[in-house]
Amino acid sequence: MKEELEQIMARYPQPRSAIMPMLHLVQSYEGYVSDAGVELVAELLGLTIAQVRGVSTFYTQYRQHPAGKHHIGVCATALCAVLGGDAVYAAVSEKLGIKADETTADGLFSLERIECNAACDFAPVMMINWEFMDNMTPEKAVAILDDLAAGKPVQPERGATLTSWKENERVLAGFYDGRADEGVSAGVSSLRSTPKGGKK
């Protein structure tokens, strides 16, 4: 991990700018922002533990305890909530037997009520490992959880086949996983103005 953390630092004119991708990388190894990870980041950047914790506690994507293999986010902001996000959240919470910011005992799933995820034209929106699961319904959500629990491949509406939250944290740390060519160019709602076959 240390070597990769140093690679991240080298991307920036000033190393401290690397702290956010570094914390994403820590999560991809540890499943959360661990004490050991914070100490290493602090040492590399020449910061105090408090300075690094100050950053890691400010941003909601940094977890203070382990996430599940699959991290489920259900949008609870106004438009998604009204269009059925609350019902989707209730169904997922009941199915998994956990509430927001909890992880199932088998470590397979964690749950979060997320704020607007920039996909309102596909509402209600659910994110799994930060991939777009568009136009969600309670029934669809439960079926997806069943598939994931059974180890079946799940393809997001717009995104790459689900692997794990940890693997996607690595992408957010800036380590490309070679999977940009998976998934569609755009969902149906994105293409309302777009001529079929494109317009030159």
Partner 1 sequence: MTELLTPILSANWGVDKSWTLKSYLSFDGFEGAKKALKLKPEEVLEIVKESGLRGRGGAGFPTGTKWSFVPQDNPNPKYLVVNADESEPGTCKDMPLLLASPHTLLEGIVIASYAIHCHTAFVYVRGEVAHVARRLQAAVAELYAAGWLGKDIQGSGFDLDVVVHSGAGAYICGEETALLDSLEGKRGQPRLRPPFPAVAGLYASPTVINNVESISSVPCILRNGAEWFSAMGTEKSKGFTIYSLSGHVAKPGQYEAPLGTTFAQLLECAGGMRAGHELKFFTPGGSSTPILTPADVDIPMDYEGMVGAGTMLGTKALQVFDETTSIVRTTLRWSEFYAHESCGKCTPCREGTGWLVQLLKRLEAGQGHEGDVDKLLSVCDDINGLSFCALAGGAVACVTSAVKHFREEFELGYTTPAWEAFPYELSTAWAGGAK
Which positions from 28 through 87 interact with partner 1, judged by CB under 8 A? 45, 54-55, 58-62, 73, 76-79, 81-84, 86-87
**Which run of H or of E encompasses 70?**
strand 70-75
Contacts of 67 by beta carbon, 8 Å cutoff, 6+ apart:
27, 31, 32, 103, 110, 165, 166
Cβ 39 to partner 1 shortest distance, Å: 17
Which residues inside 92-111 make contact with partner 1, applying CB under 8 A?
none
Cβ 158 to partner 1 shortest distance, Å: 6
| 145/158 with CB nearer partner 1 | 158
Contacts of 149 by beta carbon, 8 Å cutoff, 6+ apart:
108
Q: What 8-state DSSP symbol labels residue 14? A: S
d(CA 160, CA 132): 9
Which of 36, 49, 90, 186 touches partner 1 by CB under 8 A? Answer: 186
| 86/105 with CB nearer partner 1 | 86
Which residues inside 137-166 make contact with partner 1, applying CB under 8 A?
137, 156, 158-160
Cβ 179 to partner 1 shortest distance, Å: 6
Which of 105, 118, 150, 151 touches partner 1 by CB under 8 A? Answer: 118
Q: How many residues bind partner 1 (CB under 8 A)?
A: 81
| 19/144 with CB nearer partner 1 | 19
Upper half-sphere CA count for residue 25 (Cβ side, 13 Å): 22
| 153/185 with CB nearer partner 1 | 185
| 36/191 with CB nearer partner 1 | 191
Q: What 8-state DSSP symbol labels residue 66? A: P
Q: Give bridge partners of residue 9 from the DSSP assignment.
A: none
Q: Nearest 5°: CA angle at 113, between 134 and 172?
A: 70
